[in-house]
Amino acid sequence: MCGLAGILLHDGKPDDTAINALAAALAHRGPDGSGEFASQDMEVIHTRLSIIDLETGDQPIHDKRGTVIVANGEIYNYLELRQSLGEQNFQTKSDCEPPLLLYELNGTAFSQALRGMYGIAIADPDNHRIQLARDPFGIKPLYYTEFDGGIAFASEAGALLDAGLAKRALNTDKRQELLQLQFTTGEKTIFQDIKRVEPGQTLTLDGRQVTHSLHHRALPKGGPENWSEGEALAKLDEALMDSVMIHQRSDVPYGMFLSGGVDSSVVLACMRDLNEQPVEAFTAGFSGTSVADEREHAKTVAAAAGANFHEVEFSENDFWSLLPKIAAAMDDPAADYAILPTYKLGQLVKDAGLKVVLSGEGGDELFAGYGRYRKQMRPWYLGGRNMRAKGVFHDLNLLRDRGIAWRDNFDIIWARESNSKRTKLQIAQAVDCADWLPHDLLIKLDRCLMAHGVEGRTPLLDKKVADVAMRLPDNLKVRGRVGKYLLRVWLDQKLPEARPFDKKKGFTVPVAEWIGRRGSDLGKLVAVQDSINEICDPTGVEKLFASLEGSHAKRSGQAAWVLLFYALWHRRHIGGVVPEGDVFEVLSA
């Protein structure tokens, strides 16, 4: 896991000041070393977090023609690729060298053979081109900006801003998406000048234009297979064990995040069977609030699997003291309150001396765990409802812009993922995998862990697992009011102490309670922020926050949380002010 960036100009050599600023902005992603490559009109840089090939895996890596690769992520099938391509053709033992040889053999189709998570840049100075590629699920980030004279790219949008290569200016359409959806969709980001390399996309940069060369989808396009439960269970077992096995490939120790829920317990069950030593399991919880504290159940599951259990509490004091730093880490914003415990878990993993942690992201999307999928499957007269029909601020009369244009890109994605073979459930899953997953959940995981120099791996988000999960008959995903049916059956056989068929409580963070305890004072500070005045009536904002005192109103609490996050995020990433102090000190500055 690393950071990468670069500049390709129409003419001339990239400026050292901009290159140095990119490297400084990405240093937290690669605390173990750095490297760079410069040739004529291009320069690429790399900051390294050493995971595989600690001795000879420094980047950039060069081939015999002078082509160069820098990569962020892990190529999990690198051993198989090295064998098929011939060991004699490699100079290092790095998992990131095979894509370089594949580029020499297959050109822009080099990423088709890769199994892993990655943001890759391949500099081809002989042809004055740079290839950018991102893994099909979008687990690892990659951004670019076009400016007068060239193109620049980086692992984080914030690095392009800090280097002065893109303006700190808002895309107001994307701002509406953030407010209503809590994340932003598609290629365009919330910044006017910055775009994402989309999941599964390979782009060619030639200094004057960006060519969309290839798009490699993460999910199979077909409909469900006619598998029996026993046949499907055997296929699922094989895929899960294979994926977790290769996700454990590392030259440094690793652990896993354990909530005690189905997805993380599945990962733990696989790790237990694949490791001789006890698994290191990390859990966060909340005391003294109305939300469920998962630590006791997680501890029971860990004990049943023989894992070493590590826990941390995310407290109300943490909320006020850490939130400005967390919002600053979320340069590509996702107002998902799960960023809070994830950030503190990242620190706990680092303090434990680990660099790698496996996590259960993707289980709900691939195996249909969300209640919104069940609603999508029902006809309207039985309570059916389309996904994301209402935004966070629906009927609250707070936003100045109360239009529904924020749904436009969502509708485009829905149309793109629809085909005659897919069921309603499959389409809903595919839509979530196309945008919600990479631009909310996976951004959260990447930024909150990389802020501490920790690599997050997601074994459920693997091609082999997806090929089984998405082809399951609907009734092996959703059975009555139970989602993830087959995954629960598998877990019940492997680790029954996880109690996979217990009623799902749902993960939540008590942000509404914490905000409500200081609602009036906080509301006044949020309401006077210029960023909030642009989008809301200040009086309404004050009333919203004050209304949370003594109340646990879910919708009002969610809206207040989004406004608070946005105010802090805006100060750092649009205002350019590095936060110092707690929430109240930052908003008062």
Query: In degrees, to the nearest 5, what angle opens at C-alpha 261 toward C-alphas 259 and 262?
Result: 135
- 171 phi and psi, to 5 degrees? -90, 105
Strands (E), 155-200: 194-196
- 62 phi and psi, to 5 degrees? -110, 150
Query: 3-class DSSP state for residue 191?
Result: strand
Distance of alpha carbon 193 from alpha carbon 189, whole angstroms: 8
Q: Do domains 2-215 and 229-367+441-498 have the same CATH topology?
A: no
As a CATH number, domain 229-367+441-498 is 3.40.50.620
Strand partners, 45: 5, 36
- Which long-range contacts link 520-524 to residues 24+ away (Cβ below 8 Å)? 520/545, 520/546, 520/549, 521/584, 522/564, 522/583, 522/584, 523/560
Distance of alpha carbon 368 from alpha carbon 226, whole angstroms: 18
Distance of alpha carbon 71 from alpha carbon 35, whole angstroms: 12
Return the CATH superfamily for domain 2-215.
Aminohydrolase, N-terminal nucleophile (Ntn) domain (3.60.20.10)
What are the domain boundaries of the chain? 2-215, 229-367+441-498, 511-588
Distance of alpha carbon 268 from alpha carbon 326, whole angstroms: 27
The helix (H) or strand (E) run that includes residue 23 is: helix 16-25
Cβ atoms of residues 193 and 167 within 8 Å: yes
Q: What DSSP character marks residue 405? A: G
The helix (H) or strand (E) run that includes residue 156 is: none
Distance of alpha carbon 143 from alpha carbon 340, whole angstroms: 24
Close Cβ partners of 471 (under 8 Å, ≥ 6 residues apart): 220, 222, 224, 225, 227
Which pLDDT does position 53 carry in this prediction? 58
Distance of alpha carbon 139 from alpha carbon 518, whole angstroms: 36
Q: Can you give the three-state secondary structure of 428-494, one letter per residue?
A: HHHHHHHHHHHHHHHHHHHHHHHCCCCEEECCCCCHHHHHHHCCCCHHHCCECCECCHHHHHHHHHH
Output the tens digit of pLDDT for each of the chain's 589 residues.
Answer: 589 999 999 888 998 999 999 999 999 998 887 899 999 899 999 998 777 656 666 889 999 889 999 999 999 999 999 999 999 899 999 999 999 999 999 999 999 999 999 999 999 999 999 999 999 999 999 999 999 889 999 999 999 999 999 999 999 999 999 999 999 999 999 999 999 999 999 999 987 789 877 888 999 999 999 999 999 999 999 999 999 999 999 888 899 999 999 999 999 999 999 999 999 999 999 987 777 788 999 999 999 999 999 999 999 999 999 999 999 999 999 999 999 999 999 999 999 999 999 999 999 999 999 989 988 887 765 555 678 889 999 999 999 998 889 999 988 999 999 999 999 999 999 999 999 999 999 999 999 999 999 999 999 999 999 999 999 999 999 999 899 999 999 999 999 999 999 986 667 899 999 999 999 999 999 999 999 999 999 999 999 999 998 766 788 999 999 999 999 999 999 999 999 999 999 999 9
Which pLDDT does position 550 carry in this prediction? 75
Max distance between CA atoms of the chain, in angstroms, equals 70
Q: Which amino acid is at 227?
A: W
Which pLDDT does position 208 carry in this prediction? 75
